[in-house]
A and B are shown apart, each in its own frame.
Chain A
Amino acid sequence: MALLELQQVNKAFGAVVVAKDVSFAIEDGSAVGIIGPNGAGKSTLFNLITGNLSASSGKVHFGGEDVTGRSAMHRCHLGIGRSFQVPQPFEKLTVLENLLVANCFGAEAAYYDPDTCADILEQTELLDKANLPAGSLSLLDRKRLELSRAMATRPRLLLLDEIAGGLTDAECKSLIETIRSLHASGVTIIWIEHVLHALTAVVDRLLVLNFGEIIGDGTPTDVMASREVQEIYLGIEA
Chain B
Amino acid sequence: MTEHKWSLTSSTRESRIFATLAIVAVLLLIAAPWLVSRGLIRDLFQIMTLLVLAQCWNLLAGYAGLISVGQQAFVGIGAYVFFSFAVFMPIPPALAILAAGIVAAGIGVAAASFTFRLQGAYFAVGTWVVAEVVQLTLAKQSVLGGGSGMSLPREFRETMPGFGILREMGFSKSAAIDVIAYWMVLLLCVVTILVIYRFMRTPAGLGLGAVRDNVIAARSVGVNATRLKWLVYLGCNFITGIAGALIFMQKQRVSPDTAFSVIDWSAFVIFVVVIGGIGTIEGPIIGVLIFYLLQSFLADLGPIYLIILGALGIVSILVAPSGIWGLISSRTGIVLFPIRHNLKKLG
Q: Indicate, yes or no, whether A interacts with B.
A: yes
Residues of chain A at the chain B interface (Cβ within 8 Å): 50, 52, 71-73, 76-77, 81-82, 84, 88-94, 96-98, 100-102, 104-108, 110-112, 114-115, 117-118, 130-131, 149-150, 152-153
The reply to whether A94 and B224 contact each other, CB–CB distance below 8 Å, is: no
Residues of A within 8 A of B341 (CB): 94, 96-97, 100, 114
Beta-carbon contacts under 8 Å, B156-177 to A? none
- Partner among A90, A98, A108, A114 whose Cβ is within 8 Å of the Cβ of B222: A108
How far in angstroms is the closest Cβ of chain B from A80?
A: 9
Indicate whether B210 reaches chain A with its CB closer than 8 angstroms.
yes
Q: Tell whether, in the assembled complex, residue B2 and residue A115 are in contact, meaning their CB atoms are under 8 Å apart.
A: yes
Within 8 A of A (CB), among B251-304: 279
Chain A's closest residue to B9 (CB) is: A131
Check A97 against B340 for contact (C-beta < 8 Å).
Answer: yes
Q: Verify B214–A91 contact, CB threshold 8 A.
A: yes
Q: A102-B221, A108-B222, A153-B222 are in contact. Are A93 and B206 (CB under 8 A)?
A: yes
Listed from nearest, the 6 A-B pairs whose CB atoms lie closest are A90-B213, A105-B222, A88-B217, A76-B222, A102-B221, A106-B222
Q: Are A76 and B221 neighbours in the complex by a CB distance under 8 Å?
A: yes
Q: Which residues of A contact B340 (CB under 8 A)?
A: 94, 97, 131
Contact of A52 among B220, B224, B343 (CB under 8 A): B220
Q: Which residues B196-241 have CB closer than 8 A to chain A?
A: 203, 206-207, 209-210, 212-214, 216-225
Do A114 and B214 form a contact, CB below 8 Å, given A104-B206, A105-B221?
no
CA of A97 to CA of B220, assembled, Å: 15
Shortest CB distance B204–A (Å): 9
Q: In the bound complex, what is the Cα–Cα distance between A73 and B209 (angstroms)?
A: 16
Nearest B residue to A134 by beta-carbon distance?
B213
In the assembled complex, B18 has its CB within 8 A of some CB on chain A:
no
Q: How far is the CB of A79 from chain B (nearest CB, A)?
A: 10
Contact in complex: B223, A92 (CB < 8 Å): no
Q: Chain A residues with Cβ under 8 A from B213's Cβ?
A: 89-93
- Contact, CB under 8 Å: B219 / A90: no
Q: Complex formed: what's the CA distance from A150 to B340 in Å?
A: 21
A210 to B224, CA, bound (A): 35
- Complex CA distance for A101 and B220, rounded to whole angstroms: 11
Task: For the complex, give the distance between the alpha carbons of A91 and B213 in Å.
Answer: 6
Residues of B at under 8 Å CB distance from A? 2, 4-8, 203, 206-207, 209-210, 212-214, 216-225, 279, 340-343
Query: With A76-B219, A101-B223, A111-B203 given, can you name 4 additional A-B contacts, CB distance below 8 Å?
Result: A76-B222, A93-B206, A105-B203, A152-B221
Contact of B212 among A89, A92, A107, A152 (CB under 8 A): A92
Distance (whole angstroms) from the CB of B334 to the closest CB of chain A: 15
A84: contacting residue among B6, B217, B218, B279, CB under 8 A = B217
CA distance A71 to B216 in the complex (A): 11
| Complex alpha-carbon distance, A11 and B277, angstroms | 42
Q: How far is the CB of B35 from chain A (nearest CB, A)?
A: 39
Residue of A nearest to B224 (CB): A73
A82 / chain B contacts, CB cutoff of 8 Å: 220
Q: How far is the CA of A149 from the CA of B213 in the complex (A)?
A: 15
User: In the complex the two chains form, is A93's CB within 8 Å of B209's CB?
Assistant: yes
Query: Are A92 and B220 in contact, CB atoms less than 8 angstroms apart?
Result: no
Measured CB to CB, the nearest residue on chain A to B221 is A102
Determine if A105 and B216 form an interchain contact, defined as CB atoms under 8 angstroms apart. no
Bound complex: CA A101 to CA B2 (Å)? 22
Q: Which residues of A are found within 8 Å of B210, using beta-carbon distances?
A: 90, 93, 98, 101
Give the chain A neighbours of B224 by CB distance below 8 A: 73, 105
Question: Which B residue's beta carbon lies closest to that of A83?
Answer: B220
Residues of A within 8 A of B7 (CB): 114
Q: Are A130 and B343 in contact (CB under 8 A)?
A: yes
CA of A93 to CA of B207 in the docked complex: distance in angstroms?
10
Q: How far is the CB of A42 from chain B (nearest CB, A)?
A: 17
Residues from chain A with Cβ under 8 Å of B225 in the complex: 73
Give, as a whole number of angstroms, the nearest-CB distance from B13 to chain A: 16
Q: Decide: B5 and A118 in contact? CB cutoff 8 A.
A: yes
The distance from the CB of B19 to the nearest CB of chain A, in whole angstroms, is 21
Report Cα–Cα, A212/B206, bound state, in Å: 38
* B220 proximity list for chain A (CB < 8 A): 50, 52, 72-73, 76, 82, 84, 88
| Most central of B4, B210, B223, B279 by chain A CB within 10 Å | B210
Task: Please list 18 pairs of residues, one from A and one from B, whose beta carbons are closer than 8 Å in the complex, sorted by A's number.
Answer: A50-B220, A73-B219, A73-B220, A88-B217, A90-B218, A92-B209, A94-B341, A94-B342, A101-B218, A101-B221, A101-B223, A102-B221, A111-B203, A114-B8, A115-B5, A118-B343, A150-B221, A153-B222
Cα A91 to Cα B7 with chains together (Å) = 22
Which of A72, A106, A112, A149: most chain B Cβ within 10 A?
A: A72
Cβ contacts under 8 Å, B2 to chain A? 115
- Taking a contact as CB atoms under 8 Å apart, the answer to whether B223 and A105 are in contact is yes
Assess whether A101 is in contact with B207, with CB atoms less than 8 Å apart: yes
